[in-house]
Every structure is written in C-alpha cells, then in structure tokens.
Amino acid sequence: MLVAFSVAPSGTGRTDGSVHDAVAAAVRIVRSSGLPNQTDSMFTTIEGEWDEVFDVIKRATEAVAPFGSRISLVLKADIRTEPREGELSAKLERLEKALAEQE
C-alpha cells in the first residue's frame, strides 16, 4: 500500500507560523523506518504493508506532539487487493510514459 500523509502541530505559539521543526521530527521517523518513502512540500508518501506503514505514521505523529497543543493529520491511501512492491516510483514511471505517448 501507499499512504500519503501530512502531519503538523497547531497551537505552537510561533509568531512566524512555521512548523518545519515538527515536520522534520516526523520525517526523521519515516526515513529511519527503512520503508520506501518520498517527501515533497505537502506530503510524505510511504510504501509497505498496512501494519508497518501505520505504525510509522503513528510514531511520526507522536514525534510532532511536543511542538504544539494539537496535531493535524491528513491521510490518503492506495490499497491494492493484490500487493505490489515498488509502486512509489512505478506509478510515476507509468505517468511519464503516458505523457510521452501523448506528445
């Protein structure tokens, strides 16, 4: 499965509104998990089995807790009935191929 998630604190008390320190703490958990992952400016996507992916997301969310009085968590999952590996990059490769064929 692939799960894209965004986790951030609110009620941080920071005047600039930045949450980069909290996000860095969450991303550190994801990267140390050993699961395939990718982070962009809005989401971190992680690939693996249900239990291992959600364990990492839980720990990443817990890592954000010290940075504010509340936590916002947004999830989007791609769950296949027949498991596949390597979809983190394979989906993008299929997209790029389709775009090239349309030119």
Query: Consecutive sets of 10 residues in the chain, 103 residues long: mean pLDDT of each?
Result: 95 79 96 97 96 98 94 96 87 92 92
67-93 pLDDT per residue, tens: 998 999 999 999 998 878 899 898 889
Give the domain extent around 80.
Answer: 2-102
Residue 39 pLDDT? 97
Q: How many domains does the chain have?
A: 1
Helix/strand/coil (H/E/C) assignment for every residue in 1-68: CEEEEEEEEECCCCCCCCCHHHHHHHHHHHHHCCCCEEECCCCEEEECCHHHHHHHHHHHHHHHHHHC
pTM: 0.87
CATH number of 19's domain = 3.30.70.930
Residue 13 pLDDT? 73
